[in-house]
Structure formats: C-alpha cells, structure tokens
A and B are shown apart, each in its own frame.
Chain A
C-alpha cells in the first residue's frame, strides 16, 4: 500500500486507515479458523477446546498424542495410503487430458469450441452432489463403482476443468508463430509440442496440476458415493471421525494437510517463477 501523499484530506486519511483495518479483518476471517487448529492439535487431552493448561502454556498441556494416533491407527494409515495413491494418478490424468484439451480448443478451426469447453468445465460449475450422484449411477452400470479406478477417474474429471482453465489462460500469451517456426525448421508436431510449446506453457500446466491435486486430495462428496471401504481417503476418514467418533486425531490430520498444502503451493510457485524466468518473460 502506497504511503499517504502530503496533500491528502482528512477524509482520505481516515479512509486510508479504515481500508487497512478492513483488509486485516478479512485476512483474520479467512485464516484464523485454520490457524487455531494448529495449537489445538497438540492438545494432550481428547478435547476440541483449549484446556486451562494450554492457555497457561504449561508443557504438560501439550503432547503429540494425536499425531501418534494418526501414524499408528490402521484406519488412518489406510486412508493416508489411499489418498496418496489416488490423488497423484488423478492429477496425472487430469493434467494430461486438460492440457491437450486446452491446446485443441485454442485452435480456431475446431468446431463447437465453446460448447465443448462448457461441457469440459461443467464439473466445476454443477453442484458436486449432483455430479457425484450422476457418476454413482453411471459408474454402477459399467462396474466402476467401488473401485480404485472409478475414484481416480471421477477425481480426474473434477480436476480437468482447473487444468483447462489455467492452460487456456497461458495459451492466450502463446505466440502461434513459434509452432509454425518450429515446423518450418523441420520439427514434426510431436517434437514441436515437447520442445517448443510445452516448455512455454509449463507454468499454466503446473498451476493446473496443483489445483487438480488439491481437488482430489480434499474431495469427500464424490468419494463417499463412488468409493467402497477399500477407497477410504483422508477427507472421508476425517468426515467419519467427526461424525462417529469425534476423535481429536482429525486436528492433527488437518494440521498436516494444511502444512502439505502450503509446502505444495510454495514449491510449485517457485517452479512456476523459475520457468517463467527461463522463457524470458521476466528479466533474469
């Protein structure tokens, strides 16, 4: 925020400070509910509230018992294993399909472009519960309901729109004469894609992949419909944990998931900046 200019009127000064306060409140509103979970997850007692010991900062009030439960309880172990086997595969699928779709749909000669785009984007707009119910009936028919493949495919379908949108946005700045130049130099379309186009749109692909991963990793509605006990993911286990056992372990899980999300975002943002620098968009 820029400093106040010397000619600012009293009303402008008031607004300047009010604006800062409003911004602060918005941040607080967004972040506080997440942040409060972190200290709570170290509670030594199985409660969802701060104990007097914790408030006094007495070391006896804190423990890693919730984390220990998460890493030793077979229910949570299974859920973790399912989540880390489903999310990456769904991400890979969504990223490949979404990138190719975005490139195809960016070409002006493709007929019904906006209609196709609308259909591909629809999982993002249609209420999740409706997609989930529809997938449930469809996948039951073709025998995918309750299978690992079914959950992966459903999550890929949910993640694809994010990839399409981010890659399409990157393609707007992509100079089509570069692919023509590559062709004039004798590169076939596949070489042109991997050597010229992909390196230049990779920031969009990475952002899309991140969204697709988070979509799958956080998803609970579709997996409740489509999964069987064998595909219980972390969010599903948390949901059951809340509803049936009220186990404080979910506080530890939530903290870990927040940490993973932050780590992912940071890494990918770093990668994105690096490749943007490499493609010469920002000076080195």
Chain B
C-alpha cells in the first residue's frame, strides 16, 4: 500500500481475519491490517461494509470466525473484552446514567483498584482535558450532547489505555459541534500519543483526523493510505466515487504506454489518462476526474482539450458549479472558482474545457 509505515513494528495486527454471522456470508473477507503505535487510523466505508464488525472484533465483543488479531505481540482471540485494556467510545456514548460524571470516569479506575486520592486526581485531570472541570457532580442526563461526548472520550482515556477505539462517536452531533469535536479529538490524540482506531462513514471526518484511512467496502479494504493519496490517487473506482466529488467517463483502452494510457470513450472522444488499474488494450475502464481540476477556457494547451455544452450553472458563493454534457455524459461537473471577474458562462452554449493527464485516472469499470 502507498504510504504504510514500513519500518515500524505493528501494534495492532489483523492477519487473515474473516467474520461471518450466519456461517454463510462473510461480512469481513480476509482482512490483513497493521496499525502502528501512536497512529490515528480510520476505518471508512458505507454501512454494511464490515468496518464496525472489525472494530467489535478488536474490542472483543464479536469473535473472529477465522484468522488472528494481535495486540502488541500477543494474540487476543481468546482474551475476553474486559482483559484487553482497550478504551472505547461508543456511538451513543454509553455513559452510566445512574452515576455522576465523576463516578463514570472513576469506574475504570475503581475496577483496577486504583487508590482513592489517585483516582480523584486522574478524574479531575481527564475532565479538565475535555474542558469539563466543573461538571464532575452532574449526571449525564443533565449534559448536552456535546458535553456527553466529551465525557465519553475522557472516560475512554482516563485509565491510560494504549489503544482507544471510537465507533462513529460524532454521529449524533450537529454539524458545527462535529467539526469542533473533530479538532479536539485530533489534538487529544496528538498530545497523548495514544493509538486510535476510528470508525466512521463520514469522509470529511476521516480526511480531517486520520494519519491513514482504510476504505472498506463489501468486507474488503479497498485502499489503505494517507488522506491525501486517497483523494489524489484512488486505486479503484469505488474509492474515487466514495471520497470527494468525481466525474465518471466510461470507455475502452486503446493504447497503453508506461504510466499512461489512451481511452476512447463511448461516444468516440479520445482521452489521455494515468494508468491505474487497467491491464490491457481493449479493457473497459472508467476515467475518474475531480471537478475542480477541469479548466474552463484553458489559457494554454492542455493534454485533454474538448468542448462541452453548458447545461446548468449553480452559484455557490465561493465557486460556481457548471453542469455540462461532455463526451456523452450529461452529469459532468466542473467547479469554477469565483474570482470576482466576470465570466461569460451562459447556459446552453458550448465552452472549451481541458485538464491534464495526471488529473484523470483510468480505473476499473464502475458498476
């Protein structure tokens, strides 16, 4: 994989892990994954892709059907959840409603027989870390959603585990609070150096917070790489479509050179693209192209130059979305940055567009 930390010893390791709930269908198919100590790794994917199942297997709430999971250098397949020493933040926070915030935080310390004075110090320190120093005596029901979320994070960290799992922890918050919490969790991770495995279906969340992202679909990791290369160099059309906006142009490979290929689209347009996962001349392929990489009226000659009919203009403040018909695709989107200068874009007219070869990727045929 593109940017896996090559030299570091894996802290968490999945080897050939499979999971089936009914004995017939595999929810997780042959998962191999190494997570380095101190890493923030996100499992990203649509619902039913197997990402939460992987997290539950790591936490110990679901047994793996096949394969081994290692934590440090020991296999934890036969270690019950309460002996794994893994902190966890749940989607619904799972705060104990009959205990105060401070009692919630003290719980993991009490079961470890930590002394009373030390417990109090640690609880207070954890509460201050999430800026809830004054809230120790409240009950969870008396807190807002964002505050409950912080308590859940503090509780998962208070006993100083080496590994913390987070299962869509921000799913129930509104957009603004979610963005704020993303930064807070990221900073806590940076300050404590704890290893975090984070599950989400929100790509923005994954891109914002992670060192590496594992994109799941259909029980298989489609791509495991840094947020940047996930967006810039998608390895297949699922990843290209799942992460960010994407224009699709279907066609057939007519010529292959070392790193590039020539593709003839269904309506006969000839395009040059980066060769990512096409093998031979004659292969069906989907070309993926980000809308912001399309130039309207390119000032100089570009690798791919063609005409498109402007179908619709949508004003979005910082940019203008231009929907066009390009190479037979009427859903082709180009983003034009709003620079303040007057543009002569008129719906129904034809405009010249262009993009460079390295911005469009020839991938497997999208379904």
**Residue interface bits B129-147, CB-to-A below 8 A is 1, else 0:** 0000000000111000000
30 A-B residue pairs with Cβ-Cβ distance under 8 Å, sorted by A, are A175-B92, A180-B59, A180-B81, A180-B94, A181-B90, A181-B95, A181-B96, A182-B107, A183-B81, A184-B82, A184-B84, A184-B156, A184-B165, A185-B82, A185-B87, A185-B107, A185-B111, A186-B111, A186-B159, A187-B107, A188-B111, A195-B107, A199-B98, A275-B98, A279-B97, A280-B139, A280-B140, A280-B141, A283-B141, A284-B139
Q: Which of A221-278 contact B (CB under 8 A)?
A: 275, 278
Chain A residues bordering chain B, tally (CB within 8 A): 26
Chain A residues within an 8 Å CB radius of B96 = 178, 181-182, 196, 200
In the bound assembly, the distance between CA atoms of A65 and B139 in angstroms comes to 55
**B contacts with A: majority SS:** loop
Query: Within 8 Å of chain A (Cβ to Cβ): is B108?
Result: yes
CA distance A189 to B108 in the complex (A): 14
* A183 to B81 CA separation, bound complex (whole angstroms): 6
Residue from B82, B92, B111 within 8 A of A177 (CB atoms): B92
Smallest CB separation, A207 vs chain B (Å): 17
Tell yes or no: A73 within 8 A of B by CB.
Answer: no
Answer yes or no: B284 CB below 8 A from chain A CBs. Answer: no
Q: Are B98's CB and A191's CB within 8 A?
A: no
Inter-chain CA distance A200–B156, complex, in Å, is: 21
Query: What 1/0 flags go to B95-137 for Cβ under 8 Å of A?
Result: 1111000000001100110000000000000000000000000
Enumerate B141-168 residues with CB–CB distance to A below 8 Å: 141, 155-156, 159, 165
B88 within 8 A of A: yes
Q: Which residues of A contact B82 (CB under 8 A)?
A: 182-189, 192
Contact with B along A3-24 (1 / 0, CB 8 A): 0000000000000000000000
B170 at the interface (CB under 8 A from A): no
Does B261 touch A at the CB level, under 8 Å? Answer: no
| A172 is an interface residue with CB less than 8 A from chain B | no
How far is B104's CA from A178's CA once the two chains are assembled, in angstroms?
Answer: 11
- Bound complex: CA of A196 vs CA of B108, how far in Å? 12
**Contact partners of B87 in chain A: CB under 8 A:** 184-185
A30 within 8 A of partner (CB): no
A181 to B86 alpha-carbon distance, docked (Å)? 10
- Of all chain A residues, the one with the shortest Cβ separation from B61 is A180
Decide: A200 near B98, CB < 8 A? Known: A183-B81, A186-B85, A186-B111. Answer: yes
List, in ascending order, chain A residues with CB within 8 A of B159's CB. 185-186
Structural contact, A187 and B61, CB atoms closer than 8 A: no
Could you say which of B59, B91, B141, B155 has the most chain A C-beta atoms within 10 Å of its C-beta?
Answer: B141
Q: Which of A183-216 contact B (CB under 8 A)?
A: 183-189, 191-192, 195-196, 199-200
> B97: which of A185, A191, A280 is its contact (CB, 8 Å)?
A280
Max count, chain A CB within 10 A of own CB: residue among B81, B87, B155: B81
Q: How distant is the Cα of A111 from the Cα of B157 in the complex, in angstroms?
A: 37
CB distance from A280 to the nearest CB of B (A): 4
Q: Once bound together, how far apart are the Cα atoms of A239 and B47, in whole Å? A: 65
Question: Given A180-B81, A183-B82, is A200 in contact with B111 using a C-beta cutoff of 8 Å?
Answer: no
Q: Is the CB of B111 within 8 A of A278?
A: no
- Partner of B98 from the list A182, A185, A186, A278 (CB cut-off 8 Å) is A278
Task: Given A180-B61, A185-B155, verify A281-B111 contact (CB < 8 Å).
Answer: no
Q: Is the CB of A177 within 8 A of B90?
A: yes
A255 to chain B, nearest CB (A): 39
Q: Output the nearest chain B residue to A202 by Cβ-Cβ distance.
A: B98
B97 touches A200 (CB 8 A): yes
- Distance in angstroms from A275 CB to nearest chain B CB is 8
Whether the pair B90, A180 counts as a contact (CB closer than 8 A) is yes
Tell me which of A177, A185, A199, A284 has the highest count of chain B C-beta atoms within 10 A of its own C-beta.
Answer: A185
A184 and B82 alpha carbons, distance in the complex (Å):
5
Residue of A nearest to B88 (CB): A184
* A279 contact from B83, B98, B156, B165, Cβ within 8 A: B98
Closest to B155 in A: A185
Distance (whole angstroms) from the CB of B104 to the closest CB of chain A:
9
